[in-house]
A and B are shown apart, each in its own frame.
Chain A
């Protein structure tokens, strides 16, 4: 247990994103497990502020040297901010996935998607099982 960090205050998706909910604003990034699996992250690309995102839909993409992964939002809404600092320094996602490595903020039109997510204990177990 606990090989990868998973802060207790966050929610976790099976596709390895974390979500922080504050009112209707949801901040999303990828987990420590995800950044470790991807290894050196060399590129990120997000939707633009103002773009709509569907529940379970893609809000961007992350690339390492040998893999490319789609990024999914568990909630529907509108992208209100993206972490554009990552475009020049994508390695920050590896270094600090839960802090400076955050990716997008979404104003959720519905928080229904949150209910299906895991808490940190469940996510820990989920990571260990893989």
Chain B
């Protein structure tokens, strides 16, 4: 390994392909009389490529071949839940009745879509123990934003607008503190104890000290971003509630909780779901996501809208009539229209396939797979926190007595073994963290192959660390010069048009 000849050829930029006058699609001739267009409004030129259909197709096929994906193999990216994305869901999403449905269709003409959304709202509420669910948020981060805005408004309406502090553990996803700032509130970070749980002493100090009247709530991930069930979670919830704050659960790790506990029953007031994690909607190379939010009775009236409700009850004439409603004190719209419906229908199909008993198994086997990998990898790597994990676990990405090898090097070397690396350097509180999440859809043989690769890499680290330091050797490119990317800042390759054009 190491020869760059083994690497695939890179693909030229789309702007470097084609020839003047070429076009990639057959378009119809106008079938109506043409109308004179006002020349002063028109652009002189449009700097788009000029490429034929076959060439465009091959360009993107070749680009696709430079990617790694779940469809190719294990993608154990912690906190991202890279599970199999069922193909039948993709077929469903492309049905004309969904794909060609205008979002502003009169409600009577969208009863199928509204029924589906209403069912999904109910199911998500049932899975997490919440009274009401809105599917409006477009992604997890937007669900968080909605949740914190609801908490803010709840306090304002009770005459407690001075409550502006949200407690956030230091192991939290970056979206949590960023969300708090976006909502115009303040973050107070809480340390973790040596068990990886919230430090209860620090929590009590925050909730019972001079800031007590400013505590608006707390955001916490369950199981924690370390993949651990917080054994003190009920104490955490009651401590914040006693201070007058509300509890937000980051639902990114819901794949470890289904039919294990219902967050609403634990006492959480609001949480978001990541449909693109737990409920198998594809990640799409960075999106789209979908970040439904569930709430209890306290926050029900504040949900972002619109949500689907029954407008006219079922009678002898037939089915009920579904429609969109804005909750009474809604914090408002998160995006235009009604959320990422294409993700709703995939999540619907996913839950429908598994049903009551199967959803329970999703979590059970996700946790089984994670603990199996953990048990096997503990022999070679340091695994902090000596207890069973949830659906993911963190190990320290270094090898004893080989100081120059870091988590990043192990990650890059995994690519040569045909695996996507785990999440690097998150959570921030574990040095050289590698966060590993196999998900339930991975078969034992592949888990074993991953363990063997990790063992082989540890052996290489001792024998020939340069192999790791220079990895990857077989990926389409070697490690990148990120400093150059920032300093040169080349963000666009469209040819600049002469002044006055374009």
Over the window 113-134 of chain B, the binary record of Cβ atoms lying under 8 Å from chain A Cβ atoms (1 yes, 0 no) is: 0000000000000000000000
- Minimum C-beta distance from A91 to chain B (A): 8
- Minimum C-beta distance from A45 to chain B (A): 14
Over the window 460-490 of chain B, the binary record of Cβ atoms lying under 8 Å from chain A Cβ atoms (1 yes, 0 no) is: 0000000000000000000000110011000
Interface residues of A in 28-44 (CB under 8 A from B): 40, 42-43
A43 and B483 CA atoms in complex are apart in Å by 12
A82 and B482 CA atoms in complex are apart in Å by 28
- Minimum C-beta distance from B56 to chain A (A): 34
Interface: A66 (CB within 8 A): yes
Contacts of A65 in B (CB 8 A): 482-483, 486
Contacts of A42 in B (CB 8 A): 483, 486-487
A43 and B486 CA atoms in complex are apart in Å by 9
- Minimum C-beta distance from B387 to chain A (A): 31
A40 and B485 CA atoms in complex are apart in Å by 12
- Minimum C-beta distance from B49 to chain A (A): 31
Chain B residue, CB-CB nearest to A90: B487
A66 and B486 CA atoms in complex are apart in Å by 10
A42 and B486 CA atoms in complex are apart in Å by 7
- Minimum C-beta distance from B143 to chain A (A): 25
- Minimum C-beta distance from A64 to chain B (A): 9
A24 and B129 CA atoms in complex are apart in Å by 61
A48 and B23 CA atoms in complex are apart in Å by 51
Chain B residue, CB-CB nearest to A42: B486
- Minimum C-beta distance from B482 to chain A (A): 5
A65 and B486 CA atoms in complex are apart in Å by 7
Over the window 480-502 of chain B, the binary record of Cβ atoms lying under 8 Å from chain A Cβ atoms (1 yes, 0 no) is: 00110011000000000000000
- Minimum C-beta distance from B247 to chain A (A): 29
Chain A residue, CB-CB nearest to B485: A65
Contacts of B486 in A (CB 8 A): 40, 42-43, 65
Contacts of B483 in A (CB 8 A): 40, 42, 65
Contacts of A66 in B (CB 8 A): 482
A42 and B485 CA atoms in complex are apart in Å by 10
A63 and B494 CA atoms in complex are apart in Å by 28
Contacts of B482 in A (CB 8 A): 65-66
Contacts of B487 in A (CB 8 A): 40, 42
- Minimum C-beta distance from A63 to chain B (A): 8
Contacts of A40 in B (CB 8 A): 483, 486-487
Interface residues of A in 13-65 (CB under 8 A from B): 40, 42-43, 65
- Minimum C-beta distance from A65 to chain B (A): 5
Chain B residue, CB-CB nearest to A91: B487
Chain A residue, CB-CB nearest to B482: A65
A16 and B353 CA atoms in complex are apart in Å by 57
A40 and B483 CA atoms in complex are apart in Å by 7
Chain B residue, CB-CB nearest to A40: B483
- Minimum C-beta distance from B186 to chain A (A): 15
A18 and B483 CA atoms in complex are apart in Å by 26
Closest 8 CB pairs of A and B: A42-B486, A40-B483, A65-B482, A65-B483, A65-B486, A42-B487, A42-B483, A66-B482
11 A-B interface contacts by CB (under 8 A): A40-B483, A40-B486, A40-B487, A42-B483, A42-B486, A42-B487, A43-B486, A65-B482, A65-B483, A65-B486, A66-B482
The chain A residues found within 8 Å of chain B, CB to CB, are: 40, 42-43, 65-66
**Known interface pairs A40-B483, A65-B482, A65-B486; 8 further A-B residue pairs with C-beta atoms within 8 A, sorted by A's residue number:** A40-B486, A40-B487, A42-B483, A42-B486, A42-B487, A43-B486, A65-B483, A66-B482
